[in-house]
C-alpha cells in the first residue's frame, strides 16, 4: 500500500501544479510501471489533469471506460488525442459485448441503468485499478451535490480490499477555471460542449442540462447522478 502524504490537508491549499508535484515527490516510484494512473473520459477536466501529468510522466496510463455506448464524437476525439499526445491508452471493456448484454438482459440503460453502469463501468475499472496504487481523477466539487465533500486526496478501498490513494487535483476548481486553462493552453476539447453538454457520458444516458442546473443533472434522465465508479469504492479516511 502506498502511504498517504503526512501533510495531506496541505494539498487543499496548493495549486493544481503544486499538488501534482507534491504527490510525485512523495511517491518517487510513481513513474514506474503500475504505480499511477488517470481515469479519463476525455471530458475537459480529465484533459487538464492529463495535460499536467503527461508533462511529468509522458507515458502515464490513461484508463478509458469503453462502454460501447459513447457518442461517436467521443470516440473520434479520443482517437485524435491519443494520436496527437501519444497517449498510453488502456481501453477498458466489460466482460460482455453490448450485443450480448442486450440479448441477455434487454436495454439495461433504460430499465436498470445502475446495473448497466456496474457491468460496463464499475467492474472493468475496479479490475484495472488492482494494478495501481495512486489513482488520479478530474472530479470537481462543483459538478454535483454528490461531489460536494470531495477531497483533493482520499484513501480508498476497492471491494477486493485493495487500497489506493485517490487524487482529484481540480476538486476546488470552477467551470470558469476549467475553460480558462483549456483556452490558455490551447487544448482541443470534445465538440459536444459546443452543443450545451456539461457532463458527457454514454449517449443514451446523457442530455443537455437545464439552464442553471448542475453539470451532472443531464445524466441518466435525472434518475441518479453517479455511475458508481466514484461511489462503490469505500472512502477510508473519514
Is 227 considered catalytic here? yes
What is the distance between the alpha carbons of residues 174 and 153, in angstroms, rounded to a whole number? Answer: 18
pLDDT of res. 2: 45
pLDDT of res. 182: 97
pLDDT of res. 222: 60
pLDDT of res. 234: 55
pLDDT of res. 192: 95
Distances in Å between the alpha carbon of 1 and those of 85, 134, 201? Answer: 31, 10, 31
Nearest to 129 by CA among 58, 230, 22, 31: 230
Write phi, then psi, for 88 (nearest 5 degrees). Answer: -90, 75
pLDDT of res. 213: 63
Displacement of CA 137 from its chain's centroid (Å): 5
Three-class DSSP labels, 197-219:
CCCCCEHHHECCCCCCCCHHHHE
pLDDT of res. 4: 44
Catalytic entry in 37, 40, 205, 227? 227
pLDDT of res. 5: 44
Displacement of CA 78 from its chain's centroid (Å): 14
Determine how β-strand 61-65 pairs with β-strand 153-157. Answer: unpaired
Domain spans of the chain, in order of start = 8-235
pLDDT of res. 226: 57
Rg of the chain over CA atoms, in angstroms?
Answer: 17
Using 50 as the pLDDT threshold, list the residues of the chain that sit under it: 1-6, 238
pLDDT of res. 23: 86
Length in residues, the chain:
238
Nearest to 52 by CA among 181, 154, 142: 181
Distances in Å between the alpha carbon of 21 and those of 9, 26, 46, 58, 60? Answer: 15, 9, 17, 14, 14
Nearest to 181 by CA among 74, 37, 51: 51
What is the CATH superfamily name and number for domain 8-235?
Answer: HUPs (3.40.50.620)
Digit-coded pLDDT (tens) for 48-107: 999 999 999 999 999 999 999 999 999 999 999 999 999 999 999 999 999 999 999 999
Name residue, grid cell 434522465: 221
Rounded to the nearest 5 percent, the helix, strand and coil shares of the chain are 45, 15, 40
Amino acid at each position: 500500500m502506498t502511504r498517504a502524504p503526512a501533510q495531506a490537508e496541505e494539498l487543499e491549499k496548493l495549486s493544481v501544479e503544486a499538488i501534482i508535484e507534491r504527490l510525485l515527490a512523495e511517491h518517487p516510484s510513481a513513474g514506474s510501471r503500475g504505480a499511477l494512473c488517470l481515469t479519463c473520459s476525455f471530458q475537459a477536466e480529465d484533459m487538464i489533469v492529463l495535460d499536467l501529468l503527461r508533462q511529468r510522466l509522458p507515458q502515464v496510463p490513461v484508463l478509458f471506460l469503453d462502454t460501447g455506448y459513447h457518442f461517436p464524437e467521443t470516440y473520434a476525439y479520443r482517437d485524435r488525442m491519443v494520436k496527437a499526445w501519444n497517449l498510453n491508452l488502456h481501453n477498458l471493456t466489460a466482460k460482455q459485448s453490448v450485443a450480448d448484454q442486450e440479448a441477455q438482459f434487454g436495454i439495461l440503460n433504460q430499465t436498470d441503468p445502475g446495473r448497466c453502469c456496474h457491468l460496463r463501468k464499475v467492474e472493468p475499472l475496479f479490475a484495472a485499478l488492482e494494478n495501481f496504487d495512486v489513482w488520479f481523477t478530474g472530479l470537481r466539487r462543483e459538478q454535483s451535490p454528490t461531489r460536494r465533500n470531495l477531497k483533493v486526496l482520499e484513501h480508498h478501498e476497492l471491494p477486493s480490499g485493495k487500497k489506493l490513494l485517490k487524487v482529484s487535483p481540480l476538486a476546488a476548481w470552477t467551470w470558469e477555471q476549467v475553460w480558462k486553462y483549456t483556452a490558455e493552453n490551447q487544448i482541443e476539447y470534445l465538440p459536444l460542449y459546443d452543443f450545451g453538454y456539461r457532463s458527457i457520458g454514454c449517449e443514451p444516458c446523457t442530455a443537455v442540462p437545464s439552464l442553471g442546473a448542475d453539470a451532472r443533472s443531464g445524466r441518466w434522465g435525472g434518475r441518479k447522478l453517479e455511475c458508481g465508479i466514484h461511489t462503490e469504492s469505500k472512502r477510508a479516511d473519514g
